[in-house]
């Protein structure tokens, strides 16, 4: 198998970015970015520094003062145009996602489609930012709540969803009346610049303030400055639990709001009544898709003792058939890991798991090492292990799946919950009582709980996020919009009198 050369990938990425509206010459600098496809250089870009954060926040605050006065349906019209432009540039943006993040073409296109979907959701939302009217205990009074734009929103995103997570925040924030400053992953800068350029076109066409959307390329110090800036009303951060332990307290210290989407260690319980054909398909996509680099990637299968052997054999057989290679080539299902550190973490976890009594039944080791020694294609791996040891409770951000047995359904739920993370979970069963129990307060403690589908592939209509060390944040659909607005409780007195609440008498 051959892979594209560095020159080919660089030319493709830069020309694609130009088509999206990026002034490639203006962003040139001395920081090298590389593609996980072959490990070669894609571009040399200029990074920004801490001082640029202050400038960006000042510009965003000025834009906020103007944008918050625009009616929400008019704000929605801008987002509608953004969605239309995303459709026009879907192939371009997907190409950049593949080049910089290593996603296979269908998953890269799916990520851009997710951006289109959240724009459509946000447009509808722009006419539904509802408050409540409540009965007042005082005669001649009305009690209600109203929702108002919050302020500047900072977004820190990770490499694995270099476009969609920003759009979840941005589309909703814009219709809520908030400008957005984006600090993307250092590993996917062209994708972020292209997304920003597409939105900038929509903003210009709408005659809206240009500073509604800003992007800051830079290292960790830029993200840290954004986190600590008192002008950032809401800080949405996606990344590791370790990162969240730093971000959360810093934002709280200045009484800002944070929205944290952190680690996941997602499990599927497969019961004795499960449709194994369905389960195998769901597990393989959730565990091996995106080369195991989703926060919702399935990392554990908890299977009933009556079917665990058969299920393990069927999964191992499916893994042996997974096509690994160039993510932009037809037929590839597993692309590269993002870098060598990711592979080293995978290799170390396998060694620990086998040292703790596990058996490697599929995968292990690198693929295509002779073709691309500077890229890291890993064989998706399965470890059969009898107990949930310490390494199993960790999130290894790579295609590593543990298979554990269980005897009774209550113990399966306990195993599902006995990890620090609480993002996504699923159960494969034909027993309605088991399904309902898994969904109940006594069941999975995760923010996403599925029946007869895998742990990944959430739709934008539902709120996305998790509990425990996943951070507790919610993005995307449902009522996640409330995080981007401030609530005011209003009392209107039309009685001509001044009765006090709770019957208080304060007659002077």
Tokens linked to 372:
């691309």
Tokens linked to 145:
């709540």
- Which listed residue (261, 395, 469, 475) is catalytic? 261
Which H or E run includes 488? Answer: strand 485-493
Secondary structure class of 445 (helix, strand, coil): coil
Confirm whether 261 is a catalytic residue.
yes
What are the CA-CA distances from residue 453 to residues 274, 402, 416, 450 (Å)?
Answer: 11, 18, 16, 6
User: Could you give the CA distance from residue 321 to residue 288 in angstroms, rounded to a whole number?
Assistant: 12
User: Could you give the CA distance from residue 81 to residue 126 in angstroms, rounded to a whole number?
Assistant: 14
Q: Which residue from 255, 93, 72, 261 is spatially nearest to 173, judged by alpha carbons? A: 72
Q: Residue 149 contacts by C-beta under 8 Å, 6 or more apart in sequence? A: 64, 67, 68, 176, 177, 178, 484, 485, 486
Identify each DSSP E strand in 248-365 by its residue range.
Answer: 257-261, 266-270, 298-304, 359-362
Identify each DSSP E strand in 312-434 by its residue range.
Answer: 359-362, 366-367, 377-378, 381-384, 400-406, 421-422, 424-428
User: Could you give the CA distance from residue 371 to residue 364 in angstroms, rounded to a whole number?
Assistant: 18
Handedness of CA 97, 101, 105, 109 (dihedral sign): negative
User: Could you give the CA distance from residue 466 to residue 452 in angstroms, rounded to a whole number?
Assistant: 19
β-strands 141-149, 485-493 pairing? antiparallel
User: Could you give the CA distance from residue 285 to residue 268 in angstroms, rounded to a whole number?
Assistant: 12
User: Could you give the CA distance from residue 252 to residue 230 in angstroms, rounded to a whole number?
Assistant: 11
Please say whether the beta carbons of 337 and 36 come within 8 A. Answer: yes
Secondary structure class of 140 (helix, strand, coil): coil
- Phi and psi at residue 29, to the nearest 5°: -165, -155
User: Could you give the CA distance from residue 23 to residue 27 in angstroms, rounded to a whole number?
Assistant: 7
Active site residues: 261
């Amino acid at each position: 198998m051959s892979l594209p050369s560095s020159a080919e990938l660089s030319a493709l990425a830069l020309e694609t970015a130009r088509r999206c509206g990026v002034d490639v010459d203006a962003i040139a600098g001395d920081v090298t970015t590389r593609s996980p496809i072959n490990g070669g250089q894609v571009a040399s870009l200029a990074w920004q520094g801490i001082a640029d954060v202050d400038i960006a926040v000042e510009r965003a605050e000025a834009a906020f003062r103007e944008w918050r006065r625009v009616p929400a349906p008019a704000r929605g019209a801008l987002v509608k145009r953004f969605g239309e432009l995303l459709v026009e540039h879907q192939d371009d943006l997907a190409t950049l996602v593949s080049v910089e993040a290593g996603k296979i073409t269908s998953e890269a296109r799916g990520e851009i489609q997710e951006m289109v979907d959240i724009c459509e959701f946000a447009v509808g939302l722009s006419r539904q930012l509802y408050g409540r009217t409540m009965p007042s205990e005082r005669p001649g009074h009305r009690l209600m709540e109203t929702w108002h734009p919050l302020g500047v929103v900072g977004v820190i995103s990770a490499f694995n969803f270099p476009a969609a997570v920003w759009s979840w925040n941005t589309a909703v924030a814009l219709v809520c009346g908030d400008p957005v400053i984006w600090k993307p992953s250092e590993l996917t800068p062209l994708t972020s610049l292209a997304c920003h350029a597409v939105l900038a076109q929509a903003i210009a066409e709408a005659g809206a303030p240009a500073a509604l959307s800003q992007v800051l390329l830079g290292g960790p110090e830029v993200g840290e400055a954004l986190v600590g800036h008192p002008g950032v009303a809401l800080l949405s951060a996606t990344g590791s639990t370790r990162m969240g332990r730093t971000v959360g307290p810093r934002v709280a210290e200045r009484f800002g709001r944070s929205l944290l989407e952190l680690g996941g260690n997602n499990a599927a319980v497969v019961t004795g009544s499960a449709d194994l054909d369905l389960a195998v398909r769901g597990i393989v996509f959730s565990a091996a898709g995106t080369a195991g680099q989703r926060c919702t990637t399935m990392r554990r299968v908890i299977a009933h003792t009556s079917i665990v052997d058969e299920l393990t054999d069927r999964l191992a057989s499916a893994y042996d058939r997974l096509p690994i290679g160039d993510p932009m080539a037809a037929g590839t299902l597993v692309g590269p890991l993002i870098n060598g550190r990711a592979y080293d973490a995978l290799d170390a976890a396998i060694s620990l798991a086998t040292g703790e009594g596990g058996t490697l039944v599929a995968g292990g080791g690198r693929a295509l090492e002779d073709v691309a020694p500077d890229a890291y294609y890993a064989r998706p791996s399965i470890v059969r292990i009898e107990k949930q040891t310490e390494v199993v409770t960790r999130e290894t951000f790579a295609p590593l799946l543990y298979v554990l047995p269980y005897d009774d359904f209550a113990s399966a739920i306990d195993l599902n919950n006995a990890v620090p993370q609480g993002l996504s979970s699923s159960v494969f069963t034909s027993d309605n009582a088991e399904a309902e129990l898994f969904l109940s307060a006594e069941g999975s403690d995760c923010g996403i709980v599925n029946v007869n589908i895998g742990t990944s592939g959430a739709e934008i209509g539902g709120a996305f996020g998790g509990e425990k060390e996943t951070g507790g944040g919610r993005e995307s659909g449902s009522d996640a919009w409330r995080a981007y607005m401030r609530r005011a409780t209003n009392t209107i007195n039309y009685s001509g009198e001044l009765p006090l609440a709770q019957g208080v008498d304060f007659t002077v």
